[in-house]
Chain A
Amino acid sequence: MKSSVIVFPGSNCDRDIAVALEKMQFKNKMVWHKETSLPKSDLIVIPGGFSYGDYLRSGAIAGKSLIISEVIKAANSGCLILGICNGFQILTETGLLKGTLLRNKNLKFINKDVNIKVLNNKSKFTSKYKLNQVLKINIAHNEGNYFTNEKHLTELNTERLIAFKYCDKNGNINENSNPNGAIDNIAGIFNSKKNILGMMPHPERMIDNMISNTDGVNLFSSLLN
């Protein structure tokens, strides 16, 4: 399985995701944002970080970069796209995913391990997880407060396009288990074809028991399936 990681000035989780992908036996290439063509890829990852220093809005400038038009073309022809954290913000700025990510409700940068629940395991990204499985994954963001309009929220629910929701360790989804104010506790969503996943939590940080846990491993092994 071939993967590409797009690198912007200010990306800082690009090497973490590369380590995770290579550990899971992906053949990975790093792609600088000024490139105008993509290597042949089954998976394109837009990593976390602070592309362009979050100028204007998080992900706004990266969302208009040269390589992004190639990413959009690849996405439209069915290539798998994973956006993590700033990558999720960039995907919403490109329009590949609907909605947007607002400033955290408490105005604080949040860096901690939180629980998320798998709401749909019938996707190429989540098939190795059990439905309603509770994972412990790290989040580290200032703008993770997912927001979208009523119409799209209904679509997310009826088409089962919500991948993960924030919950407590027992799987309860409520205001107390919502770290950033995201609408309906949403932590990650698919596009309607489910070939694109955007998520605020960092699965690439959860692939080794020595530094954290292995709750992120199944996301990558799902993709290999």
Chain B
Amino acid sequence: MVELSLLNSRKNKLKFSIIVTLKKEVLDPQGKVVQNTLNNLGMGNLKDIRQGKYFEIEIDEIDQSLAEKKVTQMCEKLLVNLIIEDYKINKI
């Protein structure tokens, strides 16, 4: 019984990654500083760097499309500032 419940709990877990990046038109001073530093380290062919955020979310749900809906809500309610940021959800 214990093993079965463990199996079920594993089955119910869906895992997603969320990548949050600044929109193209928003200045990213941190990315610029990282880029300059890499340039100074001799990475001369470096063209552009944009810095972002990464979240991993585990959710207790069997239905993937329902789970994705919930993750989208999490993004839009809290994780992402839609004025300046874009996000991408991936199943992992």
Contact = CB atoms under 8 A, between A and B. Distances in A.
A106 B32 CA distance: 11
A193 interface: no
A154 to B, nearest CB: 16
Nearest to B22: A102
A102 B30 contact: no
Given A60-B78, A64-B78, A99 B83 contact: yes
B51 to A, nearest CB: 10
Contacts of B83: 99-100, 147-149
A6 to B, nearest CB: 19
Nearest to A150: B25
Interface in B63-87: 77-79, 81, 83-84
A116 B88 CA distance: 40
Contacts of B33: 107
Interface string A78-120: 0000000000000001000001101111110000000000000
Interface string A39-57: 0000000000000000011
B29 A103 contact: yes
A103 B26 contact: no
B74 to A, nearest CB: 12
Contacts of A104: 29
A60 B30 CA distance: 20
Contacts, number: 30
Contacts of B78: 56, 60, 64
Contacts of A179: none
B29 A107 contact: yes
A105 B84 contact: no
A181 interface: yes
Nearest to A63: B78
Nearest to A145: B27
A100 B82 CA distance: 10
Contacts of B27: 102, 105, 181
A154 B64 CA distance: 42
- The 9 A-B residue pairs whose C-beta atoms are closest, nearest first, are A100-B83, A107-B29, A100-B84, A103-B29, A100-B81, A57-B81, A105-B29, A107-B33, A64-B78
Interface of A: 56-57, 60, 64, 93, 99-100, 102-107, 147-149, 181
Given A103-B30, A147-B83, 12 more contacts: A57-B81, A60-B78, A99-B83, A100-B81, A100-B84, A102-B26, A105-B27, A106-B29, A107-B29, A107-B30, A147-B26, A148-B83
14 contacts: A56-B79, A60-B78, A64-B78, A93-B81, A100-B84, A102-B26, A102-B27, A103-B30, A104-B29, A105-B29, A107-B33, A147-B26, A148-B83, A149-B83
